[in-house]
């Protein structure tokens, strides 16, 4: 396993200047970084790769940011914009040395309302159709697109591992894999361990954070159950802390962080990493 930290906790949007955090992440003991890319045109992936190498870190994954204008089930314009964005993420992942592009790639985050069955079926077909050429590009470049179910308050489209398994089957590409997140699973799954086992060998990426979006391990989540399930499916890819604080205001608002959940970002990172290494030894 490679233990990583998501840049959402420290900066957004991520820029070339944000690489100043890399030395600190290395000092804290992380193996790599999950880089949240908002505007692919605003960064130089070759420079960032150079800075990662200098710090002795890997790019565990690139993480997408999906607003209303990036929606594979949205307007024709939003679909085209999202496809262009995902293609750019794949290309930048290659330069950054990562084999994973992760996130809720199917829709804009925050789009909820609950479509009627016929409309949902239509949206599903649209997402499947749009993902097929994107996955073809990903496969050609050795990158896995790891699809993340979100909780019911952030999407009405894919909330559970069962739903994402159906999407993977319908798209039918070896480049499409599953990205599970302990925060979302804590809301949507009956048992996180069983969800992980259902994903099995299709599990390509994993987010670890507390039940309150705080420090992993400083919460009520059953980490022993998670650890056993990850071991059972022989998971050996990235485990990334994706927690939030009020410090990065645009992310705090998007994630509904209205109070100080933990004393500091450093504590989330360092204590969280110690906990994860202990749980997942």
**Would you name the residues annotated as active-site residues?**
148, 242
**Cα separation of 244 and 267, whole Å?**
12
**Cα separation of 178 and 148, whole Å?**
6
The SS3 call for residue 148 is coil
The SS3 call for residue 207 is strand
DSSP assignment of 224-268, as one string?
Answer: HHHHHHHHHTT--SEEEE----SSSHHHHHHTT--S--SS-HHHH
Asked whether the beta carbons of 63 and 85 are under 8 A apart, the reply is no
**Cα separation of 18 and 10, whole Å?**
9
């Amino acid at each position: 396993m490679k233990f990583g930290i998501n840049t959402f906790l420290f900066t957004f949007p991520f820029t070339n200047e944000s690489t100043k955090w890399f030395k600190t992440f290395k000092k804290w003991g992380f193996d790599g970084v999950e880089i949240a890319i908002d505007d692919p045109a605003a960064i130089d992936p070759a420079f960032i790769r150079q800075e990662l190498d200098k710090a002795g870190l890997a790019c565990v994954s690139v993480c997408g940011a999906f607003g209303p204008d990036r929606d594979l089930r949205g307007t024709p314009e939003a679909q085209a914009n999202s496809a262009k964005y995902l293609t750019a993420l794949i290309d930048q992942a290659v330069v950054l040395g990562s084999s994973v592009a992760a996130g809720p790639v199917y829709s804009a985050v925050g789009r909820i309302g609950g479509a009627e069955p016929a409309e949902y079926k239509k949206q599903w077909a649209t997402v499947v159709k749009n993902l097929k050429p994107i996955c073809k590009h990903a496969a050609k470049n050795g990158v896995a697109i790891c699809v993340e179910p979100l909780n019911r308050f952030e999407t009405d489209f894919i909330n559970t591992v069962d739903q994402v398994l159906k999407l993977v089957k319908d798209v039918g590409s070896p480049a499409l894999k599953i990205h599970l997140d302990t925060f979302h699973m804590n809301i949507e799954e009956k048992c996180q361990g069983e969800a992980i086992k259902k994903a099995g060998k299709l599990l390509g990426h994993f987010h670890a954070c507390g039940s309150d979006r705080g420090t992993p391990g400083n919460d009520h989540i059953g980490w022993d159950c998670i650890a056993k399930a990850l071991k059972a499916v022989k998971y050996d890819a990235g485990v990334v802390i994706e927690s939030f604080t009020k410090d990065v205001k645009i992310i705090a608002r998007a994630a509904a962080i209205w109070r100080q959940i933990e004393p500091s970002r450093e504590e989330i990172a360092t204590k969280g990493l110690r906990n994860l290494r202990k749980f997942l030894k």
